[in-house]
Structure 1
Amino acid sequence: MKITVIGAGAIGGNLAAKLSTAGHDVRVADARGHEAVAAEVLESGARAVALEESVQGSDVIILSIPFGVAGQLADLLASAPEETVVVDTSNYYPGLLSEQIEAVDNGQVESMYTAEQLGRPVVKAWNAALAGTQRTRGVPVGTPGRIAIPVAGDSDAARKVAMSLVDDTGFDPYDAGTLADSWRQQPNSPAYCTELTLDELPAALASADRAKDARVRDSLPERFAALGVDPTVDDVVEMNRAAHR
């Protein structure tokens, strides 16, 4: 498939490299310019392109950008065909990684807000796994204990496309239903960055509680500080799991 990744940070760069390695034709763009794309991202065959040229001819556009800024790309994405699948990987951390957004604070689901800002549908995927998990723990299909990643979206066809790409990055895709239900995979739900298997993930999604999960999310700075210097991926995953015991 022809895939554009917008955003060359930890998640976007990782996805560009993984999907290129899987055989896809991958372009990666960043508002900061070509120099923002790390050399190792391009070693697998992904190509750095200018942002304004990035979406033409793409089957899939993956947005790996800070939450709340998608509206800045609305005009750019309006030039992409209607059938192009747009995938949102962002997460809302108000006052920490994101500006405070009243609509989301008042209950609007993160990716529904993003879709509204873009003026087109999106699929939610890859947001519920740490960058370190995505970079180092993808394994071939059928491997025992393979980590699962939830995928939510209103279009069955678009959701299936995103699920196939999740599989290509080394994780079991789980059909998490419509975008309205994607709050169940937002920070810091039981399914969020807890490295669950396909058997474990459904119960975690079902047990999500919006009010509690928001409190857990907002307590992240103090919980993370308690881990000390240079916590490992395992440390962070255990911290997330412990918050729901």
Structure 2
Amino acid sequence: MSMNKTQVTYEVENGIGTLLLVPPEGKPLTLDGEVMVELEQAIAGLAAEAPRMVWVRSMSERFFCVGANLNVLQNTNEETIVPWVMQGHRVLNMLEDLSMPVVAVVEGYAMGGGLELAMACDLIFAADGAKLAQSEAGLGFIPGWGGTRRLAGRIGVAKAKYYYYSGAMIDAPKAAEIGLVDFVGSKEEIEAERGRFSTAVAANNSNSLTQFKTILNQQERAARDENAAVEAFRSISCLQDPDTKQRLHDFLTKKGKKV
């Protein structure tokens, strides 16, 4: 069956959950409102089944996720941006709030909202060829799904400013060096580490892991809720900027010529 958008599925096997991003045929994985609904439903399903841990993966080796798709960008304006931002916050907060350990496995590119998705997980394992970027400034936007808070939380405020201001692509070894990812290896090494980590998690008391995670997450809950409102408000400001409008027009025109 032909697919023209990213799809989201999940499964639980032997107490281990997998949330899987399935790419459109011949295209990178991107996000829109329908995909976010599927993601929300998958997260709710995992919460109900309560596996010992969850892995978040893409079926593509070239792309983990590159953020919003063209349809979203074409229809983004001062009226639609706030619901889009708040939907993303709600869904990624659900992912962050899953009671069990959650680990993203990033192969290929994780950019913009795709990186925000990975950072909503407890840990990030990256293939040695992975590349990550909080890249919204190139179009005149800001991270809209908690990326400002989560990026700074992972690598510190100064480095978050450096990589956001520059829009620099971060390769996996550098990402590990600065704390953006937690494990880097070849495909085989990642699979081996997944096995070791899953076994270690399963051997521990699941309630104690849940309590530990809950305590840490609750310490940031107020800041997280405030961050959602701030990102939504600042996103409106970005869209009112004539330079952002021009950048978005140029980007969409260039993409349209390639189709």
The verdict on a shared fold, with TM-score over 0.5 as the criterion, is no
Q: So what's the TM-score if we normalise by structure 2?
A: 0.30
Q: Relative contact order: is structure 1 or structure 2 higher (C-alpha 8 Å, sep ≥ 6)?
A: 2
- Structure with bigger helix share is 2
